[in-house]
Amino acid sequence: MLNRPERLAALRRALREAGVDGFLIPRSDEHLGEYVPPSGERLAWLTGFTGSAGLAIVLADRAAIFTDGRYTTQVVAETDGALWERRHLTEQPPEAWLREYAEKLTIGHDPWLHSDAFLKRLGAVNLVPLSPNPLDAIWQERPEPPSAAVLPHGLDLAGATSEAKREDAAALLRQSGEDAALLADAHSVAWLLNLRGADLAHTPMPLAFALLGADASVRMFLHAPERVAEATRAHLGNRVSIEPRANLPSALAELAGKTVRLDAEATPAWFGATLRSAGARVVPGEDPTRLPRATKNATEQQGARQAHRRDAVAVANFLAWFAVQAPVGELTEMSAAAHLLDERRRVAGFVAESFPAISGAGENGAIVHYRVTEATNRLIHANECYLIDSGGQYPDGTTDITRTLWTGPGPAPASLRARYTAVLRGHVALATLRFPAGVAGPHLDAIARRPLWDAGLDYDHGTGHGVGSFLSVHEGPVAFSRAARVVPIQPGMILSDEPGYYLPGQYGIRIENLLLAREAMPQPDQAKPFLEFETLTLAPYCRALLDSGLLTPAERDWVNAYQARVLAEIGPLLEAPVRGWMARECAPL
């Protein structure tokens, strides 16, 4: 098996043989998703970087890897600085690097792994599609594509039939004079057809493409279609066909002369090029399922509440256990995360973690998306900060929660408590916000940063992301982020509220709950509809890190009311020792 310098050298040889000067290696797979199967982990195989977002560019004499602010520390730890220049994805973007070092060079790319929109953002660089992918050709012992069973997602969980969803989406196509839409996002296919699966470790869906017709018919394409059992085929009905991925070129060729909607941000460039060469008219347009998928119906909303309530029992059991065990100083980051997973496995309906738990003690907590490994695993010491960010997948909902804890037994330093309380104040500010309809996530990101900004501090990640319904824990198009699209928040959308503060080499603080957007009660003389948030997550904040003297009276009242709610709703579900711990932790400030 090649080591990483040998892999890079082998790729350079393959690029010379292909007649190109460089190559783009993204984190994404053919569905352009954040989470990929082992067979799609090209960036990790080549560079060692295991984060969920990134891009590498390899030239004959230099190579760079680009990551966002969540991974600036992690990329240094996981990649070889002698091989890779480390660049910030937004502050030092790949297009600037290419202008500086590759303006007159020919750069290859796999058209299955990049969207047209991304390739256009790279500017005037001479880009050449390569097929097959030269990296795949040198990847020894590459895992096979996933082929887990494709399963129906029942009406009692989905809240709407696939027929109704398909008709609504098809109506949008007819209104726009379009004959079909290409769905490359596997989340969209799973939601539209009420399907789930296990092709990914943490996102319960099959990896599939689909063509949605204006007549509400669907052709679904996936690896190994024989894994769709007869019961699932019956669930889909006779307006949905199931075909191997190898049929995609001929299926697209049949659209000659037709008008096809294609989301340029969410579709591999191969599809647009193939459709155009077949004589189809490709029109830009958003995936017609994306916004309806983000706007949870009443059944999905109630399912989210139920899933969070059950998940809260596992979290409470973990927090109470941690409070006893942490001061001893014998826990490790891996053993703590394993105990939380064991607690979740006892919860009715638990399917999987919604992402690999971020379990970071001390300086590792300052790595925003730290992933503990055997090599980095360390003891959780007494009297330090510990950050645990985790979630669960349940058939009725997806959870995501972060708590920052003090291990004790001594008191936390005043400076640390001040930072924690500033983060909490921003978290509360967003949770309690009333805002007019039409406001989008980028408009609200600063609300959670205000207490930190007042102290001259900030964090280098978005404040929150959308969350799916038994789908991806990270779901667009809404997000509390300056970099997000301006998509108005609508009732039924679920977003995370997770401001933080990170002091490299010392500790990290993040506090996260999930929020459900809903209509707010109207006020006298209200000029337009307003929205507010319902907090779904139910777990106490860390009392040892909280300086209640730094809270305003309104903030203190909200925290007290929230923790009283946690105790009232979750306390009766706990065994006596844990219930006693929770009563102490949730006592009024």
Helical segments of 295-395, H only: 298-325, 333-345
In DSSP terms, 340 is beta-bridged to none
Beta-carbon contacts of 237 under 8 Å, excluding residues fewer than 6 positions away, are 162, 163
Cα separation, 500 vs 511, whole angstroms: 7
Cα separation, 189 vs 266, whole angstroms: 13
Q: What is the DSSP string of 118-129?
A: HHHHT-S-EEEE
User: How many separate helices (H) and strands (E) can be counted in the chain?
Assistant: 19, 28
Amino acid letter, 11 = L
What is the CATH number that goes with domain 295-582? 3.90.230.10
Cα separation, 227 vs 230, whole angstroms: 9
Residue 15 tokens, joined: 């690029």
Per-residue DSSP letter, 503: E
Q: Are strands 218-222 and 240-244 parallel, antiparallel or unpaired?
A: parallel
Residue 291 tokens, joined: 């916004």
Range(s) within the chain of domains with CATH label 3.90.230.10: 295-582
353 phi and psi, to 5 degrees?
-65, 145
Residue 175 tokens, joined: 């209104």
Residue 256 tokens, joined: 């000659």
pLDDT in tens, 482-493: 989 999 999 999
Which residues of the chain are under the pLDDT cut of 50?
Answer: none
For residue 90, the model assigns a pLDDT of 87
Model pTM score: 0.95
CB-CB contact of 270 with 111 (8 Å): yes
Residue 199 tokens, joined: 């092709």
Cα separation, 15 vs 35, whole angstroms: 27
Range(s) within the chain of domains with CATH label 3.40.350.10: 4-138, 151-293
Edge-to-edge strand order for the sheet containing 180-183? 240-244, 218-222, 208-213, 180-183, 259-262, 281-284
Homologous superfamily of the 4-138 domain (CATH): Creatinase/prolidase N-terminal domain (3.40.350.10)
For residue 125, the model assigns a pLDDT of 84
Q: Does domain 151-293 have CATH number 3.20.20.20?
A: no
Burial (CB count within 10 angstroms: exposed 0-12, middle 13-18, buried 19+), residue 511: buried
For residue 263, the model assigns a pLDDT of 96
For residue 69, the model assigns a pLDDT of 83
Neighbouring C-beta atoms of residue 143, cutoff 10 Å: 12
For residue 511, CA distances in Å to 364, 404, 471, 500, 555 come to: 16, 6, 22, 7, 15
